[in-house]
Amino acid sequence: MTDRFTFDRLVGFTASILEAQGVEPAHAETCARRMVEADRRGRTGHGLIRLAAYSTRIRAGGYNLAPDIRTLHETPVSALVDGDNGLGQVVMTRAAELAIDKAATSGIGWVGTTNSNHAGAAGIYPAMALDHGLGAFYFAVANGNGMPPWGGIERLLGTNPIAFAMPAGHEVPFELDIATTVASHGTIKVTAQAGEPMPEGWVVDADGNPITDPNRADEGFLMPIGGYKGAGLNIMIGLLAGVMTGSAFGRDVVTFRTDHTTPTNTGQAMIAFRPDLFSPLEDYRNRVDAKLTELRTSRTLSGDPVRLPGERSRSLALASDQQGIEVPPALRATLADLAAELGVAPLA
């Protein structure tokens, strides 16, 4: 049976686990909120399932638990944030807030990070911009390479996600959150924890044969979305979030899941923007609502409405608020072991 807990209960538990390992309370709270928000929105590969891995890295000394997060370079519309090897959710939250502030003042705010770490679900950061009536793009270099460039055989590329949020009027905001590989490592981990096989097309061996055992995923190559087009998009994100920010990309990437001590120098970038850059806000809202309605109500074979990106995460978040956030039995057992080890009260 899958248990359900309130958002605040899971945040409190997660923060307690982090604090018990030396994370300062404010950073523990921020990291916990970003993680639980991922589960709340259905992005379970980047939620509480990551807490054990983060804890392993904390205890190995792989994080700076007292980082001096600061702005290295700044213009009215841009900034580069040095995360000083702090928790990725904390670093990226700081960067997202700065991008939002700049967009509110100047119309656009492009903020990159360097010396950051894995920051969880991509979509939660553009969603922060929506709360301020803004749109946003988000890019990140993944914390581990599992895919070669198109035509190659050397693992030089990761899952490199892209997320986008576009506010609307009465319509549900458009929110896109995708890896540029068919499956992310988080999704593979969820599949393994559930004891289920991977679908064909997620991972292949060097000869192109499918691997369906999630516990053998590291033996093969992740597959890009859309063939060579997805592989090209993956590199574009690496250039924007990694090369432009002076962060790791290609052979410089540290595999977060197996190397628990080397600083990852993870790069991320968020571009926030005001939706009224080209027309009055009311005109923009009317146009975007009309087009989203047109798409959602277009004809389908089943007769059911088209489901646009963002609608499912919103419905899952609403269900989580009403019924609690699901914690599957295998994950709850892992969390219970971690809590016992650290002397933290278990979920109940």
Query: What is the reported pLDDT for 213?
Result: 92
Placement of tokens 């009215």 in the chain: 76
pLDDT for the residue 187: 87
Positive or negative torsion for Cα 105, 109, 114, 119: positive
Asked if residues 38 and 46 have their Cβ atoms less than 8 Å apart, the reply is: yes
Confidence of residue 167 (pLDDT cuts 50, 70, 90): very high
> What is the distance in angstroms between the CA of the first residue and the CA of the last residue of the chain?
14
| Length, in residues, of the chain | 348
Mean pLDDT in residue range 271-278: 98
What distance in Å separates the CA atoms of residue 43 and residue 45, rounded to the nearest whole number?
A: 6
pLDDT of 274 > 90? The answer is: yes
Helices (H), the chain: 7-19, 25-40, 51-59, 88-106, 124-130, 185-193, 228-238, 281-296, 311-323, 329-342
Can you tell me the distance from the alpha carbon of 338 to that of 344, in angstroms, rounded to the nearest whole number? 8
- According to DSSP, residue 279 is labeled S
Sign of the CA dihedral with 91 first, then 331, 216, and 188 last: negative
What pLDDT shows up at residue 240? 98
With beta carbons less than 8 A apart as the criterion, state whether 146 and 221 touch.
Answer: yes
Which of the four pLDDT bands, split at 50, 70 and 90, describes residue 207?
confident
pLDDT at 348: 85
Burial-class residue 282 by CB neighbours within 10 Å (0-12, 13-18, 19+).
Answer: exposed
Neighbours of 71 (CB within 10 A): 13
Q: What percent of the chain has pLDDT over 70?
A: 100
User: What mean pLDDT comes out for the span 162-189?
Assistant: 94
Quick check: 229 pLDDT over 90?
Answer: yes
Give the contacts of 118 (CB within 8 A, at least 6 positions apart): 50, 54, 88, 143, 256, 264, 266
In this predicted model, what pLDDT tens digit does every residue of 46-74 receive, in sequence order?
Answer: 999 999 999 999 999 999 999 999 999 99
The pLDDT value given to residue 32: 98
Percent of the chain scoring above 90 in pLDDT = 92
pLDDT-derived band at 206, boundaries 50, 70, 90 = confident
Of 2-6, 29-33, 230-234, 332-336, give the lowest mean pLDDT range.
2-6
Q: What is the mean pLDDT of the chain?
A: 96
Whole-number Å distance between alpha carbons of 156 and 147: 6
Res. 1: pLDDT tops 70: no
pLDDT of 190 > 90? The answer is: no
* pLDDT of 194 above 90: no
Quick one: average pLDDT of 154-167? 97
Average pLDDT of span 269-294? 98
DSSP characters over 280-304? -HHHHHHHHHHHHHHHHTS--SSSS
207 or 295, which is more confident: 295
Q: pTM of whole model > 0.85?
A: yes
**Both structure tokens of 8:** 């605040």
pLDDT at 203: 93
- What is the set of domains in the chain, with CATH numbers? 3-181+224-279+312-342 (3.30.1370.60), 185-223 (3.30.60.50)
Contact 245, 267 (CB under 8 A): yes
CB 139 within 8 A of CB 260: no
Q: What is the mean pLDDT of residues 298-310?
A: 94
pLDDT tens by residue, 4-62: 999 999 999 999 999 999 999 999 999 999 999 999 999 999 999 999 999 999 999 99
Per-residue model confidence (pLDDT) at position 184: 84
